[in-house]
Chains A and B, each alone.
Chain A
Amino acid sequence: MASSDPHKLMTKADKLTKLSLTRWSADWKSATQLYEQAANGYRVAKDYEKAKIAFEKASKGQEMLSSPWDAAKHMESAAVLAKDLGNWTEVADFYRKASELYTECGRPQPASDALAKAARSLSHSPACSALEDADPDDAIQLYTDACDILEEDGKEQMAFDLYRAAANVYIKLEKYTDAAAFLLRLGLAADKCKATNSQCKAYLSAIVVYLYAHDFKQAEKCYNDCSQKDKGENVGLLPLAYCRIDAFLRSDQSRCASKLLSAYREGDVEEIKRVAHSSTISNLDNTIIKLARKLPTGEVTALKTDDGKDEEALDENDLT
Chain B
Amino acid sequence: MATIASSSSTVLLSASSSNLLPFSHPSTSRLSFSSSLSSSSSSLSISPTFLSHNSSNSRHFVNHSAFTINASAAKKKKVLIVNTNSGGHAIIGFYFAKELLGAGHSVTILTVGEEGSDKMKKPPFNRFSEIVSAGGRTVWGNPSEVGSVVGGEVFDVVLDNNGKDLETVRPVIEWAKSAGVKQFLFISSAGIYNPTDEPPHVEGDAVKADAGHVGVEKYIEETFGSWAVFRPQYIIGSGNNKDCEEWFFDRIVRDRPVPIPGSGLQLSNLAHARDLSSMLTLAVENPEAANHNIFNIVSDRAVTLDGIAKLCAQAAGRPVNIVHYDPKAVGVDAKKAFPFRTYHFYAEPRAAKSKLGWQSTTNLPEDLKERFEEYVKIGRDKKSIQFELDDKILEALKVPVSV
| Same complex | no
The residues of A with any CB-CB pair to B shorter than 8 Å are none
Q: Which residues does B use to contact A, with CB under 8 Å? A: none
